[in-house]
Structure 1
Amino acid sequence: MRGTDKPRSSPLVPDAVVAEIARHDWDSMVCGCGRSAGHLVDTLWNAAEGHPAAYRALNGHAFQAGVLKEPAPAVCGVLMAVWTAGPPRLATREALLWALVALLGSDDDGSAYEAGLYGRCAAFVRRGADSLRREAAARPGSVSAAYVDGVLRLLGLAV
């Protein structure tokens, strides 16, 4: 697996999420903290296993002070793979949605319609917009619904 020195497995992490993590060359990216982004694999693995704090730990790495960093699109790909797999715990879903709002609320030198960091992040999230809407519809007035509304507004997809 790229970005790690050993393959990992967990009954909590679906194969699609493992494949998305493995698809990226984390070691070749410069993290927001200035190191190789290879260390993010552990954080993303923890997020995929359902640890809400792992999503907040992306601050300073995938985004920092409102600016996207090089690993942001790959991180979005993993987050959306986790979302698609359907994290069972409400706290995990809310933390994941928080991370999406934080990522999409950050800036780079591109736009939502270009291949910059933001555009590549937005592309991953747009593909899952329908499942995000279903989450909001299933929990009107909830924290999850508020985060989904934020994500959709940031993408220009809010009704």
Structure 2
Amino acid sequence: MRQVEDEIARQDWKGMRCGCGRSAAHIARELLRITAGGARDEATSRDFEQHVWSPVVLYEPAPAVTSVLLAALAAEPAPDTRFRLLDLLQSLVTGEGTDPDSARRGLDLPELCRERAARGIELLHREVLSNRSPGAAGAAFEILTVLDPDRARLRDLRETAADWLPVCCRTGLCHDWWEDEEESRKAAG
């Protein structure tokens, strides 16, 4: 838990504008509560919707939250907490847009989240291979389809973990989606 507290302390939450329009200080408190296992029944990535992420854009606190989530996952939280953290991380690494205020400052929040989350590629691989729960393994695998540039390694991971991954991951739908998306980005850019 000390890792999480240290990572939260490194961030300037009061200086960040939350998606709700207030300071992001309340995000730090909520992250502490969730990572301590205090959100067993209700907390999901939806709790952070319109604060850190939305279906359309990510908000300024998103990269900081990404760093905290990695620290929390490294601290080996309880299985139900672990899945909630992975669910939120997945929302951040698959984000597609940046809120207007952050965009005016030249920030690409989805890219910043993916860069920070990429530091945890090994952690995510271990999560898939641990077979602690199909939900957590599936979420970790889907995150890896966005982050891991080693496509052969990802295919090997999918084959190794096929017995416990969700159908979309086992069949390659997650992986194929990412490759199609990447090819589209390269063709457009």
**TM-score, length of structure 2 as denominator length:** 0.68
The 1-side partners of 2:141 and 2:90 are apart by 9
For the residue of structure 1 that corresponds to 2:115, the secondary structure is helix
Q: Distance in 2 between matches of 1:71 and 1:140?
A: 29
Query: Could you give the per-residue CA deviations for residues 35-87 of structure 1, whole angstroms, max 9, x where no partner exists?
Result: 11111121111122022544431121110123110000000011111011111
1:104 alignment counterpart: 93
Question: CA 1:141/1:48 → structure 2, altered by over 3 Å: closer, same or farther?
Answer: closer
CA–CA distance in 1 between the matches of 2:17 and 2:93?
19
Q: 1:126 aligns with which of 118, 128, 131?
A: 118
> Do the aligned partners of 1:44 and 1:54 also contact (CA within 8 Å) in 2?
no
1:3-14 matches, within 5 Å, as: 14=1
| Residues 55 and 21 of structure 1: CA distance in aligned 2, closer, same or farther (over 3 Å) | farther
Q: In the comparison of the two structures, how many residue pairs are matched?
A: 142
Q: 1:77 aligns with which of 53, 67, 74?
A: 67
What SS class does the counterpart of residue 22 from structure 1 fall into? helix
- Give the Cα separation in 2 of the matches to 1:24 and 1:117: 15
> How much has 1:138 moved relative to structure 2?
1.6
Q: Is it true that 1:155 corresponds to 2:147 in the alignment?
A: yes
CA distance in 1, matches of 2:57, 2:94: 9
Pairwise CA RMSD: 2.2
Q: Which runs of 5+ in 2 are unaligned?
A: 99-105, 156-189
Q: CA deviation at 1:154?
A: 1.9
Matches within 5 A, 1:131-150: 131-139=123-131, 142-150=134-142
Is the contact made by 1:66 and 1:105 (CA closer than 8 Å) also made in structure 2?
A: no
Q: Secondary structure at the match of 1:67?
A: coil
Normalised to the residue count of structure 1, the TM-score between the two structures is 0.80
Give, in whole Å, the separation in 2 of the partners of 1:46 and 1:33: 19
The verdict on how the C-alpha distance between 1:81 and 1:55 changes in structure 2, with shifts beyond 3 A counting, is: farther
Matched residues in 1 for 2:107 and 2:67: separation? 15
| CA separation of 1:141 and 1:35: change in aligned 2, threshold 3 A | closer
